[in-house]
Copies of this chain bind each other. A is one copy, B any other.
Amino acid sequence: MNRVPLPKTSPLPEPASALAELNPAPRLLMGPGPINADPRVLRAMGTPLIGQFDPQFRLMMRETMALFREVFATRNDWTLVADGTARAAIEMVMQSAIEPGDRVLVGSFGRFGQLLEEIARRCGAEVHIVQAEWGTVLDLAQFEAALKACSPKLVAVCQGDTSTTMMQPLEGLGELCHRHGALLQVDATATCGGAPLPADAWSVDAVTAGLQKCLGGPSGASPLTLSDAMARRIYHRRHIERGLQPADYLPGAGARIASNYMDLAMVMDYWSDAGLNHHTEATTMLYAARECGRIAVQEGLWAMFERHARVSRAVLAGVRAMGLEVYGDPAHKMPNVTGVRVPEGISADKVRQALLNDFNVEIGTSFGPLHGKVWRLGAMGYNARPDAVYTTLAALEAVLAAEGHRLPRGAGVDAAYASFKSVAPAA
């Protein structure tokens, strides 16, 4: 039946009953994410469970909604946390907003733009692409031309695409989409908490995020916010499970959402005051999301953005002082990830392995055409700290030197140190 052989998965040498408790090496995670979780988040995840319909838990859910309204700079009622990784949240919006045959315009400037395209196709959309060369971003005129050409119902774009380290300017795009009758969905997985994306001020209809980047948590729960227009479009397709329909149940209209788990109309009912049963909330991940939101709101979003920008300048200064070249358009680099070109004659993977195995420092490889040519250095969330940057640059220098690459010793750390000292953090 199948011409593609099944993939392989190797068994363990020892019996499962002999496995010891977890004891991973103390890695410093300086790739494009996930990064080390804030210890506050890890502690919050040790909190004992309570029931999902316990009034105390329902209050925690509302608190988490309030926290992420601040993170997304929105008054949107429908600001909640999806139980799944960031791509689940992206897909929940698409599965719930796109009806088969709908035209969707994807702004693509890297691999995660390709992912938006791929998910939209799975939802049955007629997908149109406005494409930027990798290492660059799109401008509003390109979006406008594409909007005129295809009249989509939905425009989807990443704010930051870690595959190229580029960050798409988004101010004005929401209004532009609305003028052309489209709603705007932004994948902010990689930038939420690291760069401004005020959902209301920029008229974005859906923003999805992840905890594992600038927000300092683990992957697995994904905050999202929906404008009223998006919430209405989705709730219009409401369909409640047979066993749960209330007496006054009014089913929605339009094509039935093609997934139960991904049905945001049901997820909205679950998060509403009515608290209709849907999935069993992932209690510990909700605890994590709440703590990530609390950390962000306590630091202040603008202080977080400034911290990421300062770290970005220091990484750039350090990398350049080491004589390394930065990938992509520096005017549009994400603050939390920096692409570094692998010097001629150096094995990208060998360097990464030495950093990991000998220095306990993880940096990122690259996808597709950039694999072996570009490393990705991340500094975000809990790891957007001077000491984490110094440790990473010093380790990279030592490994490159051991590989026979000539570079000015000490220059990377010195330059990053000077960069941090030159701008005092906001009081």
Contact = CB atoms under 8 A, between A and B. Distances in A.
Interface of A: 1-4, 6-12, 16-17, 19, 21-22, 24-27, 29, 31, 33-37, 42-52, 54, 56-57, 60, 62-63, 65-67, 69-70, 77-78, 83-88, 91, 95, 111, 114-115, 117-119, 121-124, 163, 210, 212, 218-221, 228, 231-233, 235-236, 238, 241-244, 250, 252-253, 256-263, 268-269, 271-274, 277, 279-285, 287-288, 290-291, 293-294, 297-298, 356, 362, 367-368
Given A50-B29, A241-B115, A235 B19 contact: no
A22 B47 contact: yes
B163 A243 contact: yes
A265 B26 CA distance: 33
Contacts of A22: 44, 47, 60, 287, 290-291
A158 to B, nearest CB: 12
Contacts of A293: 16
B218 A283 contact: yes
Instruction: Give the copy number.
Output: 2
A377 B189 CA distance: 40
Contact of A7 (B123, B268, B285): B268
B12 A62 contact: yes
A33 to B, nearest CB: 7
Contact of A27 (B54, B85, B263): B54
B242 A118 contact: yes
Contacts of A283: 34, 212, 218-220
Which one of A21, A260, A269 has the greatest number of beta carbons of chain B within 10 Å? A260
Contact of A269 (B7, B25, B219, B279): B7
8 contacts: A8-B274, A16-B70, A22-B60, A24-B60, A87-B279, A115-B260, A117-B242, A284-B284
A50 to B, nearest CB: 5
